[in-house]
Amino acid sequence: MHDSTHIPAAQLVATDMREVDAVIRRRLTSDVALVNQIGEYIIGAGGKRMRPMLVIMFARALGFRGAEQHELAATVEFIHTATLLHDDVVDESSLRRGRQTANALFGNAASVLVGDFLYSRAFQMMVSVNRMRVLEVLADATNVIAEGEVLQLMNMHDPDIAVSEYLRVIRFKTAKLFEASARLGAVLADASSDVEEACAAYGRSLGTAFQLVDDLLDYEGNTAELGKNVGDDLREGKPTLPLLIAMERGTAGERELIRHAIEHGEVARLAEIVEIVRHTGAIAATREAARREADQAAKQLEHLPESEYREALLEFCARSVERSS
Question: What residue ranges do the domains of the chain occupy?
Answer: 9-322
pLDDT digits (tens, 9 = 90+) for 250-295: 999 999 999 999 999 988 899 899 999 999 999 999 999 999 999 9
Q: Write out the DSSP string of 140-155.
A: HHHHHHHHHHHHHHHH
Candidate from 62-76, 150-164, 189-203, 213-227 with smallest mean pLDDT: 213-227
Going by pLDDT thresholds of 50, 70 and 90, the confidence category of residue 223 is low
3-class DSSP state for residue 218? helix
The C-alpha atoms of residue 132 and residue 126 are separated, in whole angstroms, by 9
pLDDT digits (tens, 9 = 90+) for 94-129: 877 678 888 888 889 999 999 999 999 999 999 999
What percent of the chain shows pLDDT beyond 90? 76
- Which CATH fold topology does 9-322 show? Farnesyl Diphosphate Synthase (1.10.600)
Q: What pLDDT is recorded for position 3?
A: 43
Q: What pLDDT is recorded for position 2?
A: 42
Find, among 177, 262, 261, 248, the residue nearest to 211 by Cα: 177
**pTM summary value:** 0.94
Within 29-107, residue ranges assigned H as helices are 33-44, 50-61, 68-91, 102-106
User: Would you say residue 83 has pLDDT above 70?
Assistant: yes
Q: What pLDDT is recorded for position 239?
A: 95
Q: What is the mean pLDDT of the chain?
A: 92
